[in-house]
Structure 1
Amino acid sequence: MDFAYPLAGFAVGAIVGLTGVGGGSLMTPLLVLLFGIHPSVAVGTDLLYASITKAGGTLAHGLKGTVDWQVTKRLATGSLPAAAITLFLVGRFAPGGIDGVTSLIKVALGVALVLTAVAVIFRKKIQTYATTRFAGRISPTRTARLTVLTGAVLGVLVSISSVGAGALGVTALFFLYPTMPVLRIVGSDIAHAVPLTLVAGVGHWMLGSVDWFLLGSLLIGSLPGIWVGSHISTMVPDRVLRPILATMLVLVGAKLISQ
């Protein structure tokens, strides 16, 4: 086994445990830029990696009662069909299958990383703005429809880039449900990410863009990494860590877009 893969898994897992930012924002660009993994394989493998690692988070939030299953269902209603249709169209019409959209994957991943960085750095301001400007101004019916639409957008983005189900999903929920407690928003978003990344990951597997050995190697390191990161999170000031992480995401995203 190449021990660099478990080490990378541990590092990403620790950062996820520290910040709560989805591993897709970090793992996929790390595999592409540092290890030279083909973008389609990096995306497909990372999707299954995310579905497994976030399943534990869903269980924890579910036991605590911090998952709004109605919100999760609405997101999944839009995202799961969107993910399946996106990958079907890629496999059916893209020249060379998933390999034919390598450039599209890089650009989509780069844009998603930049948007994720904005969501990370301005998370509290976005939450405050949403609470003061949108609370009580959107009807329940319209909120439900917009939630399904948000899920559809996330389904397309996640299927192509593996990024979006974390920070971007949480940011969207801040605007749609401004009075909902933050922990409940995070729990609902994590719960939604599990079926979305699983469906998208299986779709990439059917297209031949999943490396199972790589997946196992990453999981060996990431599971203890998440545990360590979550335990030392109280020791690292959030105001220090988030700007550093956001800057890194912007730099990596810009590099992917320019390639």
Structure 2
Amino acid sequence: MDYRISLVGLLIGVLVGLTGMGGGSLLAPIMILFFRVPPVWAIGTDIAYSTVTKAVGSLVHIRQKTVNFQIALWLACGSVPSTLLSIGLVQYLRTNYHNLIDGFILRTLGITLMIVAALLLLKPFIMKGVEQRNLERHKPAALQGEPEEKSVNRWEQRYRPLLTIVMGAVVGFLVGLTSVGSGTLIIVSLAFMFPRLGPRELVGTDIFQAFMLLASGVIGYLLSGTINWAMVLLLLAGSLPGVFLGSRLSKYIPDNILRPLLASVLALSGWKLL
């Protein structure tokens, strides 16, 4: 353990502050590729580190009242048990198929990183399309001066909650295996499924559900004893000031330059791990 771990935390913190999403996905690949941390330990340590950062973000958004607790709990109904299930699968493979576990995790992580990279590139276009769709849907009522219809149809009452739970389960399973995607994969899906959520509520709900998902992951990896707490503390020592610095720098660095650059690094990291 040395200062380089805190420098990595500083880098990750700056990226998270600059982009709001995607920066944390680099931590596990960096630990595996540059510090030669065994994949299982890298995933467990990444989840523990991310849980702390999401907890801080959740407190901020709860105080600002930008968390939709109903949606977050729907997601948690799927993500929490599936995260524990995937961690159980990792520990089973680690115990019974020791020679296969590293390759299995590395390939799953590589594929997930490439998916996250694609979503980072597509996110601005997706969000713009969702916003345009909302405007088109509300335009007739606004022109006629009529209040927006609030009747709850079958989709909103039955199918959307079930689909939200399934979405949480899929992402939770991937996060338990890779530590990647707790925010990036969810936020784009939420924008499609809950178009009435404002940008701040969308982010706040995403961060809070990610905290619950990751907290369950910490429990799983804690029981298996594959979290390096010294590394977690060193990462936090660098990332906390990094997030502050990145947030201040975000107004000077254009998002249309930084986002493709980060997506390229994620994609290359994923390709390297395959």
Shift of the alpha carbon at 1:90? 3.1
Shift of the alpha carbon at 1:98? 7.5
Shift of the alpha carbon at 1:97? 6.9
1:64 aligned partner:
64
Cα distance change of structure 1 residues 97 and 211 upon mapping to structure 2, 3 Å threshold? farther
Separation (CA, whole Å) in 2 of partners of 1:121 and 1:78: 27
Separation (CA, whole Å) in 2 of partners of 1:212 and 1:145: 36
Structure whose CA Rg is larger: 2
Letter in 2 for 1:129: G
2:122 aligned partner:
122
Cα distance change of structure 1 residues 149 and 236 upon mapping to structure 2, 3 Å threshold? same
After superposition, residues 62-101 of structure 1 pair within 5 angstroms as 62-92=62-92, 95-96=95-96, 100-101=100-101
Q: Contact 2:66–2:204 at 8 Å: present in 1 too?
A: yes
Cα distance change of structure 1 residues 132 and 99 upon mapping to structure 2, 3 Å threshold? farther
Aligned match for 2:234, one of 213, 217, 225: 217
1:253 aligned partner:
270
1:149 aligned partner:
166
After superposition, residues 1-259 of structure 1 pair within 5 angstroms as 1-92=1-92, 95-96=95-96, 100-131=100-131, 139-140=155-156, 141-257=158-274
Greater CA deviation, 244-253 or 170-179?
170-179
Secondary structure at the aligned position of 1:59 is classed as helix
2:149 aligned partner:
none
Cα distance change of structure 1 residues 228 and 113 upon mapping to structure 2, 3 Å threshold? same
Separation (CA, whole Å) in 1 of partners of 2:167 and 2:202: 14
Separation (CA, whole Å) in 2 of partners of 1:84 and 1:34: 28
Letter in 2 for 1:163: V
Unaligned runs of 5+ in 1: none
Separation (CA, whole Å) in 2 of partners of 1:21 and 1:126: 15
Shift of the alpha carbon at 1:157? 0.3
Letter in 1 for 2:9: G
Letter in 1 for 2:170: V
Letter in 2 for 1:200: G
Unaligned runs of 5+ in 2: 138-151
Shift of the alpha carbon at 1:167? 1.0
Letter in 2 for 1:53: T
Q: Contact 1:14–1:222 at 8 Å: present in 2 too?
A: yes
Separation (CA, whole Å) in 1 of partners of 2:153 and 2:7: 47
With the length of structure 2 as denominator, give the TM-score of the two structures.
0.88
State the Cα deviation string for residues 225-256 of structure 1 (Å, max 9, x = none).
Answer: 11111121111111110010111111111111
Separation (CA, whole Å) in 2 of partners of 1:197 and 1:22: 16
Letter in 1 for 2:84: A
Letter in 1 for 2:43: V
Separation (CA, whole Å) in 1 of partners of 2:89 and 2:239: 32
Letter in 2 for 1:27: L
Cα distance change of structure 1 residues 177 and 235 upon mapping to structure 2, 3 Å threshold? same
Q: How many residues align?
A: 257
Separation (CA, whole Å) in 2 of partners of 1:5 and 1:13: 12
Cα distance change of structure 1 residues 64 and 3 upon mapping to structure 2, 3 Å threshold? same
Separation (CA, whole Å) in 2 of partners of 1:188 and 1:228: 24
